[in-house]
Chain A
């Protein structure tokens, strides 16, 4: 009887512990809304120049180093090979850092400066944002690493 009670109580404690853990994890994952006087939306074009090589794949990291910037959407690029939205971690939404990556097995691949993705950002407050873009890797059609240059540009519809 006593051992059964102890066993049940142990299970109860375990469940309590897990509940507390899950609750704290959820609380950490939740971002608290911050009231800011000004909110605007900007789009950033991500471009890659594969320097004459066919761009078979790319992986870049983009982050805001200044300002209250949050990612709200990721769009594909201009060429047919990268029209589809790239892979990204959904957890990056509402954060200021994202890693995007895409590959293409199509025969027609870009070989010069091309817009490969567009990031949609929400900017709050008056601080002018600063961005940093890092090319993690670029590859040719055979998935061999190639030299390439990644740049970003604010998109304007005009």
Chain B
């Protein structure tokens, strides 16, 4: 209700103003009790929420670490398939060895990859 509202009768406006401006007193003790209850409630809940989010973050970190440890080095199986027969085997090493610019290290790497018991990594 605005003071400049001309459509409301004066009497009604006066009564409404008196009703709205009436102060409701809440005892301080009650106010404190409600506040204490709310704080205690939040403190009871917080540790669990904190622990849960912390545990989730820790699990994520551990999982990511294990994943990275298990990952083979970025070996580029495609790069080792020198003869493009969709397989990495000793023929790739020989093909590479026959090239003049081949490095012994790379040839050995392919040859070793071809004899891995766990398959090419």
CB within 8 Å of B: which residues of A?
A: 6, 9-11, 13-14, 17-18, 21-22, 56-59, 86-89, 91-92, 95, 97-103, 105, 136-137, 139, 142-145
CB within 8 Å of A: which residues of B?
A: 54, 57-58, 61-62, 65-66, 69, 83, 87, 89-95, 97-98, 108, 111-112, 114-117
Question: How would you classify the secondary structure of chain B's contact residues: helix, strand, loop or mixed?
Answer: helix
In the complex, the chain A residue whose C-beta lies closest to that of B107 is A103
Instruction: Give the contacting residue for A21; candidates B66, B89, B115, B116; CB below 8 A.
Output: B66
Q: A57-B91, A59-B89, A143-B91 are in contact. Are A103 and B97 (CB under 8 A)?
A: yes
Q: Is A21 a contact of B91 with CB atoms below 8 Å? A: no
Q: A89-B117, A101-B115 are in contact. Are A14 and B58 (CB under 8 A)?
A: yes
In the complex, the chain A residue whose C-beta lies closest to that of B96 is A143
How many angstroms from the CA of A92 to the CA of B116 in the assembled complex? 9
Q: Cβ of B90: which chain A residues have Cβ within 8 Å of it?
A: 57-59, 87, 101-103, 137, 139
How many angstroms from the CA of A102 to the CA of B87 in the assembled complex? 16
Q: Cβ of A102: which chain B residues have Cβ within 8 Å of it?
A: 90, 111
